[in-house]
């Protein structure tokens, strides 16, 4: 007796769904494993010094340098073969020339809009004058902590947690769902700082509170960074945004409150204007066509 065609369709659909779920499981597992390997690479060195000691920083520089070679292996191995054939691995990693100039400039300006209030505070307290001093940049380039915070950490983290994870997650999640899922790996990875805080003598409860707060804002930033990568298709866009955010740090509301009226109210308004402006400009300024991005 001939089988009902609708039955065959349902069987094929069930098989496709099973394969898809299996692929999603592998993609998420690969991202989790990659985040574990990245954090573990920072602790392979048996050092008695804290994270800001020059010897610790240099060793971790070497670790993340090695991770820059290991991370793409996860992407290549766990990504479906037809995806790799259809698009080059460089393009998937967001390393390409098409649309590079807009990717360098526009997302950075967008991020500066978000920090309008803090930037205006820096102008008022005179910090901006330092940025026009060549000696300031020469000294910073010799500062290992500055190099870690402004260059090495943003580059290695964006490469691993965005460029090598998002193409995997996009195989089983819609883009905006991937934007929400990807930062969780990034946020959880920062919990390793809790070990260092407790080693320095901080009590468990305080270290936990600090790391939970850090998890919150790194996850929020991670979502923004993932959004930039998906929309622009360029690694440089989230890298520069990450470096700039690291430079600015979390907004210093204590400094804001230290100003007298009407300066305090004026700066507070600029904080709000920056946030509202960023929200309204986020979608228009990340139009994929501006960046030659056809991956999404």
Concatenated DSSP letters of 162-193: IITTHHHHTTTS-HHHHHHHHHHHHHHHGGGH
Helix H or strand E encompassing 258: helix 253-258
Helix H or strand E encompassing 198: helix 193-199
**Tokens in use for 66?**
């090695």
**Tokens in use for 13?**
């659909």
Q: What angle is formed at CA 238 by the lines to CA 235 and CA 241, rounded to 5 degrees?
A: 140
Told to judge if 203 belongs to the known catalytic residues of this protein, a careful annotator would answer: no
Please give the radius of gyration of the chain, using alpha carbons only, rounded to the nearest integer.
Answer: 22
Told to judge if 157 belongs to the known catalytic residues of this protein, a careful annotator would answer: yes
Q: How far apart are CA 177 and CA 161, in angstroms?
A: 15
Catalytic residue among 190, 192, 196, 255: 190
Q: How far apart are CA 233 and CA 163, in angstroms?
A: 9
Catalytic residue among 17, 81, 82, 157: 157
* Residues 270 and 118: beta-carbon distance below 8 Å: no
Closest CA to 192 of 160, 214, 220: 214
The residue assigned the tokens 């460089």 is: 90
Question: What is the set of active-site residues?
Answer: 157, 190
């Amino acid at each position: 007796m001939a089988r009902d065609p609708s039955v065959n369709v349902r069987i094929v659909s069930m098989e496709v769904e099973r394969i898809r779920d299996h692929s999603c499981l592998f993609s998420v597992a690969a991202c989790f494993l990659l985040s574990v390997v990245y954090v573990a690479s920072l602790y392979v060195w048996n050092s008695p010094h804290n994270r800001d000691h020059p010897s610790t920083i240099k060793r971790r520089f070497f670790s993340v340098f090695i991770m820059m070679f290991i991370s793409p292996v996860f992407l290549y191995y766990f990504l479906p073969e037809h995806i790799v054939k259809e698009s080059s691995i460089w393009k998937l990693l967001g390393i390409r020339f098409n649309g590079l100039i807009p990717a360098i400039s526009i997302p950075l300006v967008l991020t500066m809009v978000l920090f309008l209030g803090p930037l205006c505070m820096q102008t008022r307290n005179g910090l901006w004058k330092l940025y026009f001093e060549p000696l300031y940049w020469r000294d910073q380039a010799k500062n290992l902590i500055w190099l870690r915070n402004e260059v090495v950490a943003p580059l290695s983290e964006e490469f691993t947690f965005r460029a090598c994870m998002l193409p995997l997650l996009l195989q089983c999640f819609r883009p905006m769902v991937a934007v929400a899922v990807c930062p969780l790996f990034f946020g959880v990875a920062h919990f390793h700082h809790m070990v260092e805080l407790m080693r320095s003598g901080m009590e468990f409860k305080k270290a936990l509170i600090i790391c939970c707060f850090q998890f919150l804002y790194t996850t929020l930033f991670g979502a923004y960074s993932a959004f930039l990568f998906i929309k622009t298709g360029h690694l440089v866009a989230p890298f520069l945004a990450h470096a700039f955010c690291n430079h600015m740090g979390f907004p210093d509301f204590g400094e804001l409150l230290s100003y007298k009226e009407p300066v305090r109210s004026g700066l507070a308004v600029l904080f709000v204007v920056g946030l509202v402006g960023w929200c309204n400009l986020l979608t228009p300024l990340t139009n994929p066509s501006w960046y030659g991005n056809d991956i999404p």
